[in-house]
């Protein structure tokens, strides 16, 4: 697999991890969110609510591209990507 393809996978992984960490940190750090994520029924109810209500409850959106602000592929060696 070419290096640029492996770098794209690294970027996608960074975005996924960033969003997951930010979401979990927000949920755990804001007791007002806990009831909405306490169990499956509460989570289903949260997602069934109107989009504007979910946005009001959740707060500002997480920008997934924030994960790549400092991404510089020149610092990543081919061998760190599983290359030769």
Q: For residue 71, how far is the Cα from the chain centroid?
A: 16
pLDDT digits (tens, 9 = 90+) for 30-55: 999 999 999 999 999 999 999 999 99
CA angle in degrees (0–180, nearest 5) for 59-68-26: 25
> Has residue 23 got a pLDDT over 80?
yes
């Amino acid at each position: 697999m070419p290096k640029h393809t492996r770098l794209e996978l690294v970027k996608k992984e960074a975005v996924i991890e960033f969003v997951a960490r930010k979401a979990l940190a927000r949920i755990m750090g804001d007791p007002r969110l806990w009831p909405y994520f306490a169990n499956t029924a509460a989570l289903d109810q949260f997602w069934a609510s109107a989009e504007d209500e979910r946005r009001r409850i959740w707060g500002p959106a997480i920008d997934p591209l924030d994960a790549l602000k400092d991404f510089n592929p020149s610092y990543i060696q081919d061998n760190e990507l599983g290359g030769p």
